[in-house]
């Protein structure tokens, strides 16, 4: 077990080093793209705690991201009583607001499970966009809210794209460590117990209500932070910035990365980014392969490819990429452990 811990610490350290050095090797715009991947990664971390550990499915995490995004937009554009808040400081507030919303959703979710919970949360994602339309004086309606442009604060000399990169991945790293500490201790074991059998968990003295709502709130907090960063990076917020389909993409990416493998989620996050922003390029590359004849301009092509990839991955690696990695390194670590 100690070896497993060492391995996990080592990979965290490696990730930290990687985060620090990557901007030296990529263009400013690529740094911006990787930052966006980091935002999806943060949202996926939260979803992983909820789905991977507590076993509750949410198809509504796009709505929590939107809550985070709107919190940041309102606080940094209109402010509280006319005092605008610097975008960086709105991030934790956005997380908390989304977390409270998650707590509120988590309470009715106690009575639901499986398919019904998925349906309810999906309803949340679909219905959420009506709120900014209804309160358009406050939230900007379809024309949205335009945030001030991203600037590097505190007299730091980084370019804005590098700043958002370090900001996002700095936060992502901290939240990754928090999630890691959370799931490897008592709360993680408790959530797993609930996931595996609620009856057994209750009879061992676990408070279902407390832990299930806690998982929901924490997970929504993560999504809120991700949404806030996204709004800051784009400088714009309206109901279409986090479309309904994003909630579905998040769950698909979770399956792709492995529901309870935090590092595998980076891959899932990259998949979402590519699907939303770079799908035409992927279709172009695939088109160059022999015996492949795709029309990149055909509507819906990216979704078809994403779907195909998802099916292939889940057939070959039912536990996602993260699960496959674990299976690959698993024998190594257990063997060494049993010897020592």
Partner 1 sequence: MKALLLSLLAGGILVSAAGARPLATPGVSSSEIRIGSSVPLSGEAAIAGNVARGIDAYFKYVNAKGGVFGRKLKFTYLDDGYDPGRAVNNTIRLVQQEQVFAMFSSLGTSNNLAVRKLLNDAKVPQLFVSSGATTFGRDGKKYPWTIGYIPPYSEEGAIYGQYVVKKIKKPKIAVLYQDDDYGRDLYAGLRRGLGKKVGAIVSKVAYDPTSADVQPQVTQLKASKANVLMIFAFGKFSLQAFNAVSRLGWKPQIFVNDVSSASALMAIVPQKAANGAISIVFGKDPAAPAWRKDKGIRLSQSILRQYGTDIGPRDLQDGYYTAGMATAYTLVDALKKAGKNLTRDGIMRAATHLNEKGNPFVLPGIVVRTTPTSRFPLTQVKLQRWSAKAWHPFGKLLSAKPR
How many CB atoms are closer than 10 A to CB 21?
9
Question: Given its phi and psi angles, is residue 290 left (phi above 0), alpha (psi -120 to 50 degrees) or beta?
Answer: beta
CB of 299 vs partner 1, minimal distance in Å: 4
Is residue 196 part of the contact set for partner 1 (CB under 8 A)? no
**Torsion 121-125-130-133 (CA) sign:** positive
Q: CA–CA separation, 76 vs 57, rounded Å?
A: 32
CB of 322 vs partner 1, minimal distance in Å: 27
List the one residue out of 45, 50, 148, 38 whose CA is nearest residue 105: 50
Is residue 293 part of the contact set for partner 1 (CB under 8 A)? no
- Per CB under 8 A, the list member of 29, 82, 83, 155 interacting with partner 1 is 29
User: Would you call 80 helix, strand, or coil by DSSP?
Assistant: strand
> Read out DSSP for 248-282?
HHHHHHHHHH-TT-TTHHHHHHHHHHHHHHSHHHH
User: Would you call 236 helix, strand, or coil by DSSP?
Assistant: strand
Is residue 297 part of the contact set for partner 1 (CB under 8 A)? yes
Who's near 168: CB < 8 A, 6+ residues apart? 35, 36, 38, 39, 42, 229, 233
DSSP 8-state assignment for residue 237: E
- Per CB under 8 A, the list member of 20, 156, 240, 330 interacting with partner 1 is 240
Is residue 137 part of the contact set for partner 1 (CB under 8 A)? no
Is residue 133 part of the contact set for partner 1 (CB under 8 A)? yes
Is residue 197 part of the contact set for partner 1 (CB under 8 A)? no
CB of 150 vs partner 1, minimal distance in Å: 9
- Per CB under 8 A, the list member of 15, 19, 23, 32 interacting with partner 1 is 32
The site that binds partner 1 (CB under 8 A) totals a number of residues, namely 32
H or E segment and range at residue 145: strand 145-146
Segment contacting partner 1 by CB under 8 A, of 129-137, 180-188, 190-198, 306-314: 129-137
Is residue 104 part of the contact set for partner 1 (CB under 8 A)? no
Is residue 212 part of the contact set for partner 1 (CB under 8 A)? no
- Per CB under 8 A, the list member of 4, 192, 234, 326 interacting with partner 1 is 234
Q: Which residues bind partner 1 (CB under 8 A)?
A: 27-29, 32, 36, 129-130, 133, 141-144, 146, 148-149, 161, 234-236, 238, 240-243, 276-277, 280, 297, 299-302
């Amino acid at each position: 077990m100690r070896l497993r811990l060492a391995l996990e610490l080592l990979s965290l350290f490696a990730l930290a080093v990687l985060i620090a050095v990557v901007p030296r090797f990529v263009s400013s715009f690529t740094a911006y793209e990787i930052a966006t991947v980091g935002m999806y990664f943060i949202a996926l971390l939260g979803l992983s705690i909820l789905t991977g550990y507590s076993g509750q499915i949410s198809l509504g995490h796009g709505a929590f991201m939107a809550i985070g995004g709107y919190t940041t937009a309102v606080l940094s554009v209109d402010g509280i009583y006319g005092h605008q808040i610097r975008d960086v400081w709105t991030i934790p507030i956005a997380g908390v607001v989304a977390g409270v919303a998650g707590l509120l959703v988590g309470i009715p979710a106690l009575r639901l499970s499986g398919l019904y919970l998925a349906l309810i949360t999906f309803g949340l994602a679909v219905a959420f966009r009506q709120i900014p339309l209804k309160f358009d004086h406050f939230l900007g309606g379809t024309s949205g809210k335009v945030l001030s442009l991203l600037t590097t604060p505190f007299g730091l000399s980084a370019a804005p794209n590098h700043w958002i990169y370090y900001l996002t991945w700095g936060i992502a790293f901290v939240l990754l460590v928090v999630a890691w500490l959370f799931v490897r201790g008592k709360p993680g074991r408790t959530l797993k117990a609930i996931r595996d059998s609620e009856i057994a968990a209750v009879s061992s003295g676990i408070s279902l209500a407390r832990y299930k709502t806690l998982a929901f709130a924490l997970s929504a907090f993560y999504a809120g932070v991700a949404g806030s960063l996204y709004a800051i990076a784009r400088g714009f917020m309206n109901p279409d910035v986090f479309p309904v389909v994003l909630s579905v993409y998040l769950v698909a990416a979770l399956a792709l990365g492995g529901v309870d493998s935090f590092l595998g989620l980076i891959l899932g996050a990259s998949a979402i980014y590519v699907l939303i922003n770079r799908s035409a390029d992927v279709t172009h590359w695939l088109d160059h392969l022999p015996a492949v004849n795709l029309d990149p301009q055909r509507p819906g092509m990216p979704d078809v490819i994403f779907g195909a990839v998802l099916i292939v991955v889940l057939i070959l690696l039912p536990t996602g990429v993260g699960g496959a990695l674990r299976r690959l390194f698993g024998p190594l670590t257990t063997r060494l452990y049993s010897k020592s």
